[in-house]
Structure formats: structure tokens, C-alpha cells
Amino acid sequence: MDFGTEFKPLTVQPQEIEGLSFKMIDEEFGEHPFSQDEYKVVQRVIHASADFDLGRSMQFYPGAVEAGIRAIRNGEQVYADVQMIESGVSKGRIEKHGGSVNVFISDKDVMEEAKRLNTTRAIISVRKALKQFDGGIYAIGNAPTALLELIRLIKAGEAKPSLVIGLPVGFVSAPESKEELAKLDVPFITNIGRKGGSTITVAALNAISLLAEKA
């Protein structure tokens, strides 16, 4: 291998890099069962992870993407389980319609209540989100306990989210929480298995906000 040869990128223009990446994804991913809008989400998930198996593992409730688009355009709020999602999301496309991205996991009252009840901050932050707003988009990419608590509240009739993006990563309860989400009769975007994470959740949410902007 000749390490003396200087490597030059194909392009340094951001839009060209993204366009070329998506073209490569399309060519390698090939035929798929996803709708046009669902594939936009899958495409960005793969773009964020370079993981085609993760892309193929994505699952969508019928009309889930359209439900997310409506929620954003109607100015509904977004709840995220961790700050990393808030940092990565293109908030401008959500805020222009009156929505915002909310994270409660580090709030003082959440930390105190979690300590008092000897439970996770993720669980308490979901409960706080439910008190703050009706409907909305719940974007969970880190904490399976947050997703499981949301599922419990949905089953109890206490939560009626417009869309659940449930993509927590991990070994303990992450695959199971997504399996339980996929059984619900609510709009959801999830995947099968241990893979996922905040970056993947951001990619899915950004894809939906882009579709909302073009709708």
C-alpha cells in the first residue's frame, strides 16, 4: 500500500457530499418494502450510521411519518429523553411552526423525584413531559426505561402521543422495549434489536422535519 500518495476527497461541497452519499445508499440498499416517506427516514438513519442492517430493521406504524409531519406543522411539542437529541435536531424547522424540543432529565425536580422514588430520571422525565403537553412527539434514543414508561402510560390511557420515535440502544431492555412499542396501536417508528441511539433518533426526527418543511 502506497501511503505516500496524497488522498483527495471526491468533493468538499457539503450538499454534493450529502447527495453523493444518498446516491451510494440507494445503490447499495436496493429494493425495499418502505413507502416513499418511510424510506426518507431510513435513508437518513443509514446516512447517520453507515449501517444498512440497521436501516433494514426499521419498523413503521402505518401512516407514522405522516402523523409526525402533521404534528410538526401543527406546532406540537417534541419531548426528547436526553440532551444529545436536543443538540442534534435541527430545531429551526420545528420552531418555525410553533413547536420546541424539550428535555427534562436534568431538571432539579426530576432528579429529586427520581431519588425520592428510587427510580430512574428517565421515567420521571416522561411523567413530567406528560404533564407539560398533550399529544406531541416523543423521541427516545437512549433510555429503554423511558420508552417502557411511555408504553405503560399509553396502555393506561394516560398518554396519547402523536408519534413515538422509539430507538433506544443497548442490551438491557432496549430490544424488549421496542418489541412492546411495535405492539401498540399508536403511530410509532422503531427498529428490531439492540441497535439505535440518540444519533439515530436525531436522524429520524430530522428526516420528518424536512418532510414537514416540503409538505
pLDDT in tens, 53-69: 999 999 999 999 999 99
* pTM recorded for the entire structure: 0.92
Residue 135: pLDDT over 70:
yes
Angle ∠(180,171,135) on CA atoms, nearest 5? 40
Sheet holding 163-166, edge to edge: 58-60, 188-191, 163-166, 137-140, 78-80, 101-102
* Grid cell digits, residue 72: 410538526
Active site residues: 47
Residue 13: predicted pLDDT? 73
What the block records as the C-alpha cell of 135 is 399529544
Domains of the chain: 59-214 (3.40.50.10230)
Rounded to a whole number of angstroms, the distance between the first and last alpha carbons of the chain is: 49
Is the predicted pLDDT of residue 34 greater than 60, yes or no? yes
Residue pLDDT, tens place only, 177-215: 999 999 999 999 999 999 999 999 999 999 999 999 987
Helix axes 14-29, 36-49, angle to 10 degrees: 110
Q: Which three cell numbers stand for residue 187?
A: 403511530
